[in-house]
Chain A
């Protein structure tokens, strides 16, 4: 019983830590990923950890500067991992009257 509670305690702590890291990653994305494109092109992908890792390397090669690369990787894997369902894409609003 004690061990079980202890384990549960550890699990909750780990989960809370994950949430904090993921939140940090979300902020890192807002800081580092917007100069060249909007976030849609990121959020429509579903990739494995290795896949996201490669994307982060590719973007770094093009000039992206990370302050917390680990956090953004955790955030991307947790939110847009290849085990996550694909959301139907949005439709743009009607732009025919717009010049």
Chain B
């Protein structure tokens, strides 16, 4: 016998639901919500909230901003609980930064890996506003012996599911661009982790803890499942399909260099006429130096035009004006290079959790006589 709740859930699984505040999105899961942005929505430098991807590990917590507190304990001289009003009193900063799910592109790895089968749209660029995490920690008198910061989100698991706790080196916690964001694109969408979301520019999405309720400076690295074995990457590349070597797995921090083509749409048709190839490129903690585009499957490459702002942490938009000579099928590729000289590979290293896919992007378009 099904319980009433289970029957409701089954029914819900049949008809794709609407997710509050979101346009139609690629639906990987509805409870909790895991939504991917269709690449055709990416046409602006700031990704609108109604098109921003969503990744949730655990059931989403109910948030009451009036009762919300961030606890500071551990290696601090003045343990305290901060309200949203307390956080609003600190100097507010805005950091534009690209947020990408650690598993964006998992679906492209072969052999296949368990997890959300993200394609190209578990990424977005937003303007995050709030106090610096360093200012918050200084309020509580963080001790110099603290080398790591443990961060707990309000989301917690069902039965014995692990709690969502992460840990990062104090150096990154004290970086001036690391924020406790109260706002995203000037708004307060709690589905994205406000009233207090950790912003860790350039690092993988998993580090950007949502609904932060506890900050604990500590001498040693800590954290449960979501630090180990979760969200680790092999130090030495493995043959595809082989098991992880636990002793050689490292915590993922900065993200790789990457580009994504947004137009033309993959497997679309276009008239034989001038067109603009578009996309965006980003590089973790670095800025984008160059994006090259090929319209002939990689035989030759041309430099694309880049949007003017060359910032670390935030993506740059690119365009290339292109007039196809003949009708027919074209394979268009994009390849980004960052300020540190890192280049997108043809073949990203397979890894046992399917993280950090950053292969040269590819779309196909059929050009037809007008």
Contacts and interface: CB of A to CB of B under 8 A. Distances in A.
Interface of A: 30-31, 34-41, 44-48, 51, 54-55, 61-64, 82, 86, 89-96, 98-99
Contacts of A55: 114
A contact face: mostly helix, strand, loop, or mixed = loop
Nearest to A60: B160
Contact of B114 (A37, A47, A64, A95): A47
Interface of B: 2, 5-6, 9-10, 12-13, 15-32, 34-36, 38, 50, 58-59, 107, 111-112, 114-117, 157-162
26 contacts: A38-B29, A38-B30, A40-B27, A40-B28, A40-B30, A41-B28, A44-B28, A45-B117, A61-B160, A63-B158, A82-B111, A82-B112, A89-B27, A89-B117, A90-B26, A91-B16, A91-B25, A91-B26, A91-B27, A91-B38, A92-B17, A92-B25, A93-B15, A95-B23, A98-B21, A99-B20
Nearest to A54: B114
Contacts, number: 119
Contacts of B10: 30, 34, 39
A38 B18 contact: no
Nearest to B158: A36
Contact of A44 (B2, B58, B116): B116
B116 A35 contact: no
Closest 7 interchain pairs by CB? A63-B159, A95-B18, A93-B18, A63-B160, A38-B31, A41-B29, A36-B158
A34 B34 CA distance: 16
Nearest to B35: A92
A92 B161 contact: no
A96 B23 contact: yes
A95 B162 CA distance: 30
A44 B24 contact: no
A45 to B, nearest CB: 6
B112 A39 contact: no
B16 A93 contact: yes
Given A36-B159, A38-B13, A44-B116, A94 B24 contact: yes
Nearest to A46: B112
A74 B309 CA distance: 54
A78 B28 CA distance: 21
Contacts of B32: 37
B50 A96 contact: yes
Nearest to B58: A36
Contacts of B159: 35-36, 62-64
Contacts of B27: 40, 89-92
A14 B111 CA distance: 30
Contacts of A92: 16-19, 22, 24-27, 30, 35
A98 B111 contact: no
Contact of B117 (A86, A91, A96): A86
B50 A34 contact: no
